[in-house]
Amino acid sequence: MSQAWFATLFQRRVLVALLVGWLLGVGSSQAQIVNPDGSMPSLAPLVEQVSPAVVNIATQGTVEAEANPLLNDPFFRRFFDVPEQQRQRQVQSLGSGVIVDADNGYILTNHHVIANADRIRVALNDGRELDAQIIGSDPETDIAVIQVSAEGLDALAMANSDALRVGDYTMAIGNPFGLDHTVTTGVVSGLNRTLPGNGGARLQSFIQTDASINPGNSGGALVNLKGELVGVNTAILSRSGGNIGIGFAVPINMAAQVMNQIIEYGEVRRGVLGVRVQDLSQEMAEAFEIERNDGALIAQVTPNSPAAEAGLAPGDIIIEINGKTIDDANAMANVIGLLEIGDEVRMRYVRNGQTRQTTAVVADPQTREVGADNLHPALSGARFSELDERSPLFGQVSGVLVADVAASSRAAEYLQSGDVITSVNRRNVESLESFRAQMQGAEQLLLNVRRGGRAFFVLVR
């Protein structure tokens, strides 16, 4: 441990030892930092308390193997006598998890630890190895819940991660590279951090800590000095892959909200509000003639969405949701993304310099979807909805979202879930209503489709 650690954590003991030494006529040079029983201060009791709740996770699974497009050509394979290619390959991963419910055997871990897993083995601190099943997983927060069936489990109590402060001591414990429990210590060095490219996670409000989080620590425990769980270790920031003292953990308050929905529904049932927001910069605030640069600036409102029904409009600045201050766009995304369908959203916002209030209800996107049977028989099996915050293209293009495509349906020949249709027969699609109008009476459909970073035309007859 560093000198700064001892200087801060045991400052009072040093002062007491010096005072006692002076009273006994002993020189201050003989003063030592010791416990009343003569032992040296140690975090070993805390490690012993926490370790039984931290488990090792080993997974086996299959993923689709990437292949050269030429190998998909039957003529090419026959001509060069190329054997049939394996379409899948086996993958393995190692990580960690935290038992949070001993009675039911629920374990929190990261989504990326158990993604693509066909089999999950959990190794307990007492040497037992158990098979686990996936209860549910949420890529947007990188949180997953698995379950084991066993007696005598130990669980960690959850702290209130909203009460964390920069400078609070933390301990990270996990299973790097399949080794037995490893422990690192440090402090909270930042709160509400975002980490671009973190496995696709879109809802981010990470705890940043300088307690080393190695690759195998993913899914492990970040605890305070009371042994309470404050976060789930998730990622590191590094150019080389090695630890440089910048680690990130999902706050336990966020993880618990996700876990509760997964346990109840098997998934996170996210609703939609129907707004796209951006950060309010100082320059933007000046352009809107307001004397603040905090809040989430509404850039787009989806037609017929809860936000539209609540009276919100582009240019409004959201400053508070359900009593929680909104500092920027990421803060608003985190608050809305963790609400359940049907939850009430009380918002304070600024319009033309005046603070106003409104209320909306988080909507179930499925109730606002339209089946292709009501639009055009050539797209049978697909369901469409207004383009909203479920799509990363929301706010970048106009169109309709392909909400779902039934397997082996006619629509599956052309479309995938998540596609955005931006034009029909070379006419732009502005909303679901205009999409419906352009479908009527059309014998064939020339669709302009956006899929991820690509755009292409599809002719449907």
Catalytic annotation, residues: 112, 142, 218
DSSP single-letter state for residue 378: G
Q: Give the C-alpha separation, 444 to 421, whole Å.
A: 15
Helix (H) or strand (E) holding 309, with range, is helix 306-309
- Count how many residues are written for the chain: 461
Both tokens of 245, joined, read 């003292």
Strand boundaries in 200-316, DSSP class E:
206-209, 221-223, 229-236, 247-251, 275-279, 296-301
Cβ count near 121 (within 10 Å): 16
CB 209 within 8 A of CB 187: yes
Nearest partner of 338 among 248, 266, 262, 404, judged by Cα: 262
Q: What's the CA angle centered on 33, arms 32 and 35, to 5 degrees?
A: 120
Cβ count near 461 (within 10 Å): 6
Q: Give the C-alpha separation, 109 to 100, whole Å.
A: 10
Query: CB neighbours of 374 closer than 8 A, spacing ≥ 6?
Result: none
Q: Give the C-alpha separation, 246 to 235, whole Å.
A: 9
Q: Give the C-alpha separation, 287 to 167, whole Å.
A: 37
CB 229 within 8 A of CB 157: yes
Strand partners, 421: 400, 449
Nearest partner of 270 among 198, 329, 343, judged by Cα: 343
CB 260 within 8 A of CB 253: no
